[in-house]
Every structure is written in C-alpha cells, then in structure tokens.
Amino acid sequence: MTPILAFDIETVPDIAGLRLLRDLDAKLSDRDVAEHAFQQRRAQTGQDFLPLHLHRVVAIACALREGDSFRCWSLGSADDGEGELLRRFFDGIEKYTPQLVSWNGGGFDLPVLHYRGLVHGVSAPRYWDTGEDDRDFKFNNYISRYHQRHLDLMELLALYQARNYVQLDELARLLGFPGKIGMDGSKVWEAYQSGKIDDIRKYCETDAANTYLVFLRFQLLRGACDEARYRRELNLVRDTLGKSNDAHWREFVGRWS
C-alpha cells in the first residue's frame, strides 16, 4: 500500500523578512513589525492575511498511514528552526514517496513550503520530479493540480471552485470527527508571542488527524474502500491515539462521536 501522509502547517509572520523588505526601524518590536505589516495588508486587501512568502513555518504535523501502522506527530522539536522543519518534511517525501493529503494544501501549505524552502536552500528532488528522474511521475506527480500524489481535499470536494470551499473544522464535525482542538489559525501568532509553541504543535497535529479522517470518509465515498475496511481504518486511528497519554489526544478521542 502506498503510504498516506496527511499534513498541516502553522505559520507566523516572518519578522526578519518584514524588517528587510520594509526597511523598518530596528527599534520596533516584533509585535510592532507584525502590526505594521497587518495594517498595510488591510489597507491593500481589506484583511490582514500576509502574502505567502512572508509566512514563517513554526510547526509541521504529519498523520502517516504506512504498513500496518498509523501515527500522528509534529516534525522536529519545539526548538528547531524553520529550515530544519522544512528539511524533515521533504526528506520524508524522499523516504516514503507518499500520497500527500491536505486541506487547502494547494492554496496555502505547499506554496508556503515552496517559498520558505527557497529561503533556506532546501533540496527536494523527489517532490519536484515531473518525470525527468522517474517516468511514472510524468503522469502523476506532486506538482500538477489534478494529479493524485498530492490530494487537496478542499479543492477537489469543491470542484476547484473557491465559492464552494468549506472549513475543515465544520466538515470534520459534520462527519462525527472531533474538529479543531485548542485554538484556530487566527490565534497562532498570539500563542507564539506568548511562548506557547507546544500548544501550536499539538493544535497542528489535531488538524492533520482531522484531515486524515476526512480523507478516509472520502475513500469510502469514491469506492476506494468498503464499509468494513473504512471501519477498520477508523478503529486503527482511534485505538492508536487512545493509547497516548497526551492531553490533546485524550480530548480528541473524547470528542469523537
């Protein structure tokens, strides 16, 4: 079975990049640099969501179904820099050649990883292969929008129409899954400033788990698995997470109807 890797990232404003590109006064605090960027963005677009190249990755979570096992974890440690997290992610693709599964990965997560990978000089030949090294990748690679090596569930279920997009949290809960635990993306910068990187990593992990669970329901929908196998896969996830002593997984399993 091809390994399945559902993933999610969390980001904060790239303060060093903003200082460089905006030529800001060195006396400004990180908080003030971010607020300056938010204000500029609101004036330009009506919202404070920064351009993707100015997002710094602080957490990458993976839910990996491989062989007879399932696991969900955050890459690296809370002290690792952005470059190390990126390298670990793309090294995993080199090792497993998994099917990537995301929620808005085509619109956010992967473009951010592309830009930030450039910033840090990361090498990811397997990810970028479109048939030059492996002929199978000519017709099924990670880059092409309609190929399956990366499946953006949000885009596919919406038939690639932005007006049809829905939130992962709402769809997951409609399907009986736990949904978001601890915070949402709008709270990550605030949590990061308060030193709560562990909370951010745990939140990211639950998003990756929700993404994988929605993927399982999609596999049932499209006939890639029958009801019995679907139930076995759900039980594997529930049983695996239920064995954890971590509070966020206890809450996650407890909310699972």
Domain 4-255 has CATH 3.30.420.10: yes
Q: Residue 73 phi/psi, 5° resolution?
A: -155, 170
**Rounded Cα gap, residues 191 and 195, in angstroms:** 6
Residue type (1 letter), 123: S
182 contacts 206 by C-beta, under 8 angstroms: yes
Residue 145, Cβ density class (10 Å: 0-12 exposed, 13-18 middle, ≥19 buried): exposed
Q: What is the pLDDT of residue 160?
A: 95
**Rounded Cα gap, residues 74 and 212, in angstroms:** 15
Q: Check whether 127 has a pLDDT greater than 80.
A: yes
| pLDDT tens per residue across span 211-246 | 999 999 999 999 999 999 999 999 999 999 999 999
Q: What is the pLDDT of residue 216?
A: 98
Strand order in the sheet with 150-152: 69-74, 55-66, 4-13, 99-102, 150-152
**What's the whole-number mean pLDDT along residues 122-148?**
95
Q: What is the pLDDT of residue 90?
A: 98
pTM: 0.97
Contacts of 236 (CB under 8 A, 6+ apart): 65, 70
Mean pLDDT of the chain: 96
**Rounded Cα gap, residues 43 and 208, in angstroms:** 33
Retrieve residue 221's tokens. 């929908």
113 contacts 105 by C-beta, under 8 angstroms: no
Q: Check whether 257 has a pLDDT greater than 80.
A: no
| pLDDT tens per residue across span 53-103 | 999 999 999 999 999 999 999 999 999 999 999 999 999 999 999 999 999
Residue 247, Cβ density class (10 Å: 0-12 exposed, 13-18 middle, ≥19 buried): exposed
| pLDDT tens per residue across span 140-193 | 999 998 898 999 999 999 999 999 999 999 999 999 999 998 888 889 999 999
Retrieve residue 86's tokens. 């990126």
**Rounded Cα gap, residues 215 and 221, in angstroms:** 10
User: Where are the domains positioned within the chain?
Assistant: 4-255
**What's the whole-number mean pLDDT along residues 41-58?**
96
DSSP string, 14-54: -HHHHHHHHT--TTS-HHHHHHHHHHHHHHHHSS-PPPGGG
Question: What are the angstrom distances between the C-alpha of 130 and each of 4, 51, 109, 136, 246?
Answer: 20, 27, 20, 8, 40
**Which carries the bigger pLDDT value, residue 67 or residue 26?**
67
Residue type (1 letter), 90: F
